[in-house]
Amino acid sequence: MRLLLVLAPVFCFFSMAQADLLIVNDEQVHKQLSQSNGILFSDWSLLEGFDPINVYSNEDEQYGWSLTANNGVQGLAGIGATSLEAGEALTISFLSENVCSVGAMFGLNDETGEAVSGTLQLTLDDGSSYFTTIQQDGGFGGFISLTQTIESLTFQPFGESDHSAIVSSIRVGIVPSPGVACVLLVGLHARRRRLN
């Protein structure tokens, strides 16, 4: 895998055998890159104040997703959703086959439920991983896939098994239709080549 940093730390580009992927840790940059290439976004889905259940979901046909963890998911009033077990990974699975961009606001809590700084690992369904430092007040993580759709995003605390990962909001980006998708992805790929 080769890594090229561009406008660090706001934007980086990973080139892999399976996919080309833009990883962005700034919400506005993520939105601009996505929208300038014809990606349509859902409104932010806010996660807060739910009782413990097995799955949180948004069943919208185009922008739908579900949030799961092996031992269940719980809502934290006014904060977001987390796993029932500390250190456990959470997975956001997308219902549409046209998802090519996803962004979310993430955070970390310690065993007492207090917000903490730390490292969060984000992994896409193709195995692409990204590590980001989350400040005590949380942070943004976003992905734009240039060559394939995104089926899921898994996130978990890194290095601290007594910390819990939190997601407070999710925004999903889709390409309007398969025909348009090819045109948009070719445009994104061409733009990337010009940056190199």
pLDDT digits (tens, 9 = 90+) for 57-115: 778 888 888 899 999 888 877 788 888 899 999 999 998 889 999 999 999 988 888 88
Question: What per-residue confidence (pLDDT) applies to 35?
Answer: 85
Identify the CA nearest to 118 among candidates 156, 86, 153, 168: 156
Counting residues of the chain whose pLDDT is more than 70, the rounded percentage is 76
Residue 140 · residue 27 · CB < 8 Å: yes
Min mean pLDDT across 11-20, 122-131, 150-159, 178-187 is at 11-20
The domains found in the chain, sorted by start residue, are 2-195 (2.60.120.260)
Q: Identify the band that residue 192 occupies on the pLDDT scale cut at 50, 70 and 90.
A: low
